[in-house]
Structure 1
């Protein structure tokens, strides 16, 4: 879906959904200054075209899970098949083909009761077409999760942002208690991971609870930080076409400052500190290669303590932040 087919209202709607993902169309319409029918029609068109999905996801950090960033080198004729196989796994997100189609980048999450890291230590290294695997454990997230590039877009005014933030989920308390999840909670989260705007009636049927009970549980899970909402967006809506993974080696004493600076850059969609020789990782999305060059030689060049920088352009997104959608992978 090309950006030429989108207008300012599409961009404002995406920004609004990031702030208030489950708000009624009537509430969104009132803030955006259009009719309920217009918002419903726009959302239906974007969702039907695969340009946006609202997802309700569980936070791995709050659940005590270990996250890894993987770089998998493959033979050119097998990278696509390996990427597809990785995307089908429940423990992977953000699977992409990078660097000319010979490297796969992806994120994984491992429950705290599983220490074998089977994906890392068993399956991938024994795959004949895999030439090498580099695994980086995520230590700290500077930007990502419940935040996305939409909040940096400036599509909405400050007043609209404030109004929608009040209508959105409660801000999680990072040091608060983590509720224990039961089977009903997991069924609830499974539905939300596919459609974060699923109606209460559908959620209630999935977990065998009343709608009022489900509403309260949604609020509890969001307030605890276990549940957060994310958008799977085709960023061409905003005219952004160039996706690039960055791996930086930063002096440890400057790592926190460099990561915080990256988090504030409008080009950065995700940033985290990791283990390994490259201890700072980021995903950057720009309008063009020329804009990427300008970003690297200005904002990145000004970061404190950077000793080495590696870039890996993305040519195909196989899987985004949630479960693998039924639509085909997105070429960019």
Structure 2
């Protein structure tokens, strides 16, 4: 079935496949087929159809131990220029994702940089100059609580457990490690295709397959990186049609545990992070407002 524009709607079987890939984004089609009761050929065909239509993809994502400085960038846009502003933000390499929303703001973006100085330049000098913005609001990320519990609710707990049991990231974590050039090149290669095979990655990076396999496992187990599946598509299933965001303030003292002190879902603030419908949960500080300027540095606003 297609929409009036000719784009194919996602059906229930697609959502089942996507939910399994949320659990383990790098699971093989043979593994997915065995868990979901379809052939590897069928699982692969459905996945290729979704990716070719731009409706789903898998990429690398920063883990809780990757040394990054992040922020939430919110903006109000000029009438009729929301899509233009979103496209301008999405084209910037430090912008992880851009979301159009309803309410007091028109869009928000998740931004990351290698250090606080670079992040400051982005938030103060670069992002507010994107054409179409009127006012912006920035909040610096202090802690990230979630990112790997997000689910669509289309497969059973037993099916999810079978997929998760084959995921190398579930092994015992390794100590903190300093990322080298190989790690960075591998992470960026997986940004383009998070399901790329070991042989393809080895050819691209000039390394052996075993070296690539070991390094991916080390990134996952160290918490520096993770794989993540994404979907942004039209869907006529009743359980998955829209997304939203919730902003909470005034957490009671002691309710926000840093990831290294409480890695489970036992604290009050992290309980939201562990709900299956939460794609991302983070603690932020700030929320400074500015008027956007099409040329030059943004100016502070009241």
TM range (shorter): 0.7 to 0.9
Distance 1:132 1:197, change over 3 A: same
1:262 Cα deviation after fit? 2.2
Normalized per residue, which structure has more strand? 1
| Matched residue, 1:20 | 24
Q: Secondary structure at the match of 2:66?
A: coil
Tell me, in whole angstroms, the C-alpha distance in 2 between the residues paired with 1:273 and 1:32: 36
* Shift of residue 223, structure 1, vs aligned partner: 1.1
- Identify the residue that residue 202 of structure 1 maps to in structure 2: 200
Match of 2:241 in 1: 241
Which residue does the alignment assign to 2:278? 268
Aligned CA distance change for structure 1 residues 277 and 20 (closer, same or farther; 3 Å): closer
SS in 1 for 2:187: helix
Pairs aligned (count):
272
Query: Which residue is equivalent to 1:141?
Result: 144
Q: CA–CA distance in 2 between the matches of 1:251 and 1:27?
A: 42
Question: In the alignment, is the contact (CA less than 8 A) between 2:70 and 2:119 conserved in 1?
Answer: no
Q: Which residue of 2 aligns with 1:297?
A: none
Structure 1 length as normaliser, TM-score? 0.72
Q: CA deviation at 1:128?
A: 7.3
Paired residue secondary structure (1:106): strand
The alignment status of 1:165 with 2:164, answered yes or no, reads yes
Structure-2 change in CA distance of 1:121 and 1:77 (3 Å): same
Structure 1 residues 71, 175: closer, same or farther in 2, change over 3 A? farther
Q: Determine the C-alpha separation between the residues in 2 that align with 1:27 and 1:96.
A: 32
Report the counterpart of residue 111 of structure 2 in structure 1: 108
Matching of residue 213 in structure 1 with residue 211 in structure 2: yes
8 Å contact kept, 1:72–1:103: yes
Task: Report the equivalent of 2:134.
Answer: 131
Separation of aligned partners in 1, 2:78 and 2:37 = 52
Are 1:64 and 2:67 matched, yes or no?
A: yes
CA contact (8 A) 2:112 2:119 kept: no
Is structure 2 residue 224 aligned with structure 1 residue 226?
yes
Question: Using the alignment, how far apart are the partners of 2:131 and 2:233 within structure 1?
Answer: 35
With over 3 angstroms needed to count, the CA separation of the structure-2 counterparts of 1:39 and 1:247, relative to structure 1, is same
The answer for the alignment partner of 2:191 in structure 1 is 193
Structure 1 residues 113 and 125: CA distance shift in structure 2, 3 A: closer
5+ residue gaps, structure 1: 279-332
Residues in 2 aligned to 1:42 and 1:170: alpha-carbon distance in whole angstroms: 25
Tell me the residue number matched to 1:92.
Answer: 95
Which one scores higher on RCO, CA 8 angstroms, separation ≥ 6? 2
Higher fraction of helix: 1
Q: Secondary structure at the match of 2:149?
A: coil
Question: In the alignment, which residue of structure 1 is the partner of 2:39?
Answer: 35
Equivalent in the alignment of 1:322:
none
Match of 2:52 among 43, 48, 58: 48
Unaligned runs of 5+ in 2: 257-266, 289-302
Shift of 1:196: 0.9
Superposed displacement of residue 235, structure 1? 6.2
